Structure 1
Amino acid sequence: MDTNFYIIEDDKVIQNLLKKIILKNNLGDIIGISDDGAQAIDEIKRLKPDIVLVDLLLPEIDGISIVSDINRSKCKTTFIMISQVTSKEMIAEAYKEGIEFFINKPINVVEVVSVIKKVKEKMNMFHVIQSFKNAIKEIQIYEENSLDKEIETSSNKDKIEKILAQLGILGEAGNNDIIEIILWILEQDKDAGKNPIKYKMTEIYNYLQRRYEQEYQITTNVFAIEQRIRRAVNRALINIAHMGIEDYGNEIFIKYASILFDFKEVRKQMNHIRGKLDYGGKISVKKFIEGIIVSIKNPI
């Protein structure tokens, strides 16, 4: 299947250059081009392109706002941002909102082709295959009559996936990263015997980046890995808060609200959803991961 591209760029010269690079190198098809952010948002939601090349600085709506709007709509699109901006804060904000790669202007043909090929490889590995696996897992989980049915006899990966499914984040982009991290920690703990390993999350993210490059030949950014994971954990917090609001006696809420999060932060998120606070709760990725490990080692 050909990859479909949408280009958002207010410079006609760069529009034509990007289009020429994509078509000349047989990278895919162009299904839309726009220099207007609002128009682009509507068309992307309707056309659902595989990859969007978006300029950071646009006249009406900036690229970060476009990415944020599209991601909130649950449209499965991968973003590559293009800009001459060198501000680390703006680039970090772009990664936080969900872009996969950042290409600096002026446009370099070799760089554009290389980045697009890397994105397509990643999509093939993590989007198509993982989406299929997740769909099968979701069907299996929905057919279970108990939250923890046969959990004692399942593999550690199955146990992790069941917990993530119960939290409603099995389909999130950071789901695979979380699984890889927990499996690695469990393996290290087993080798360490009675003395569990000590680690920092920055070390884990760096390890994950090296593993993706060495084993899967996927080049990714440590900051992008961290943000994918944080978005997934934050979504879990939101889902848990909704469960608590709907039914304070919900089994999943009771089981995970305190072990995966600081319960005070869960309460803040619940009050934010109710409109009582202007801000939601905070997350700790390390507490979330350690909570899942405890749940696996000591199933209730």
Structure 2
Amino acid sequence: MMSNTFLILDDDINIRKMLKQLILKNNLGRVVAELSSGEHAVEEIIFYKPDIVLIDLLLPFKDGIDIIEQTIAQGYSGKFIMISQVENEEMISNAYEKGILFFIHKPINRLEALHVIKMVSQNIELERSVNMIRNVLSGFDANSAQSGTSTVEDNIRSILTDIGIISEAGSKDLIAVIRKIILYKKKNPLLSYQLQDIYQEIAEEENGNKGTKASARTIEQRIRRTILKAIENIAQLGLDDYYNPKFTEYSSRLFELKQVKQEMKFIENPAEERGKINIKRFVEGVISQINF
């Protein structure tokens, strides 16, 4: 049973009550503190050391991004889930870069919020398990490590097959990115990574092995096109059968449910905007399903 601690930071008391109820009703853990502004948020987070912080972006006194940056700088290693009505894509992307794992749009969809909180809780449990194993077994030989990597890749391929993108040109790049992040997390479960750095690594490896001139930007574009195909496939599943198990499983695990619904509107009417994707959310969603 999950028993993580939570700190809820939102200036709307109704949002705080709803999130607390969601956590307690589903036995996800306990709420150690509720804050209505960013004024003393950094000090409170450092004091309580919650496993998960549910945080709004726009807050009185100090915004969510500043709070995240300052708490991480002071050594806080918990997880951030941002819940906000902000629609600006640049601000949302910046939030992911600063350290949030997932972004949930207001008004909150309870099913999506529950999925996301469970995913992050599961990630924490996996990290704890990895740490326990590491403490017992000080090292693994190269062959065992390679075998584990192979199993992980099989699991990644299975998920990409499930959502119909395994044959897309960018699927190999996507697998490479996810595999690298998992390997890094095995070494350091508290790792904070930048996707651009990983794209660059993959580009350099590709250039060295094949003599090509791939760039980090090329890798990112191939991955983005592949994930756009994934959201299209999931949206089509939802249109065909809203209760399709794959739609239920992946619509809020790999994407923001709001964006999947927007993609469904686009499929029905191309005059609508397409649903938007976030690569880091997609990657973390895949990783949350892999027992590594």
> Shorter-chain TM-score category?
0.5 to 0.7
CA separation of 1:50 and 1:171: change in aligned 2, threshold 3 A: closer
Which secondary structure state, in structure 2, belongs to the residue aligned with residue 82 of structure 1? Answer: strand
> Where do 1:200-211 residues align within 5 Å?
200-202=218-220, 205=223
CA contact (8 A) 2:5 2:52 kept: yes
RMSD (Å), alpha carbons: 4.8
Mapped partners of 1:59, 1:41: distance in 2: 13
- Deviations 1:122-147 (Å, cap 9, x if unpaired)? 3233x22444466679x669xxxxxx
Give runs of aligned pairs for residues 27-106 of structure 1, distance below 5 A: 27-106=28-107
Larger radius of gyration: 1
Q: Tell me, yes or no, if the aligned pair for 2:203 and 2:219 is still in contact at 8 Å.
A: no
**Distance in 1 (alpha carbons) for counterparts of 2:115 and 2:200:** 28
The number of equivalent residue pairs is: 204
Unaligned runs of 5+ in 1: 142-149, 228-300
How has the CA–CA distance of structure 1 residues 58 and 181 changed in structure 2, closer, same or farther, with 3 Å as cutoff? same
Contact 2:199 2:220 in 1 (8 A): no
User: Which amino acid in the other structure matches residue 106 of structure 1?
Assistant: P
Q: Secondary structure at the match of 2:31?
A: strand
Describe the shift of the 1:219–1:59 C-alpha distance in structure 2 as closer, same or farther (beyond 3 A): same
Q: Provide the C-alpha distance between the structure 1 equivalents of 2:193 and 2:133, rounded to a whole number of angstroms.
A: 15
Structure-2 residue corresponding to 1:128: 128
Q: Contact conserved, 2:3 with 2:29, CA < 8 A, in 1?
A: yes
TM-score, normalization: structure 2? 0.54
> Identical aligned pairs, as a percentage?
32
After superposition, give the CA deviation of every residue in 1:218-240 in whole Å (9 maximum; x if it has no partner). Answer: 7374145899xxxxxxxxxxxxx
User: Cα offset for 1:59?
Assistant: 0.9
Partner of 1:219: 254
Asked whether 1:18 is paired with 2:75, we answer: no
Deviation at 1:176, TM superposition (A): 11
- Give the aligned partner of residue 108 of structure 1: 109
1:62-95 residue CA offsets vs partner (Å, 9 max, x unmatched):
0111111111122111111111110111111111
Q: Render the CA deviation track for 1:168-220: whole Å, top value 9, x for unaligned.
A: 9785233999899979997x899xxx74576532167569978xxx9xx8737
**2: CA distance, partners of 1:130 / 1:73:** 24
Q: Secondary structure at the match of 2:39?
A: helix
Which residue of structure 2 aligns with residue 173 of structure 1?
192
Partner AA of 2:50 in structure 1: P
Which consecutive residues of structure 2, in runs of 5 or more, have no partner in the other structure?
150-179, 231-245, 256-277, 285-292
Aligned equivalents of 2:189 and 2:213: distance in 1? 27
Higher mean C-alpha deviation, range 59-68 or range 114-123:
114-123
Q: State how far apart, in whole Å, the 1-side matches of 2:63 and 2:29 are.
A: 25
In structure 2, the CA distance between the partners of 1:83 and 1:185, relative to structure 1 (3 Å rule), is same
Match of 1:8 in 2: 9
Instruction: Using structure 1 for the length normalisation, give the TM-score.
Output: 0.52
**Is this contact kept in 2: 1:174–1:225, CA < 8 A?**
no
Tell me: higher relative CO, structure 1 or 2? Use CA pairs within 8 A at least 6 residues apart.
Answer: 2
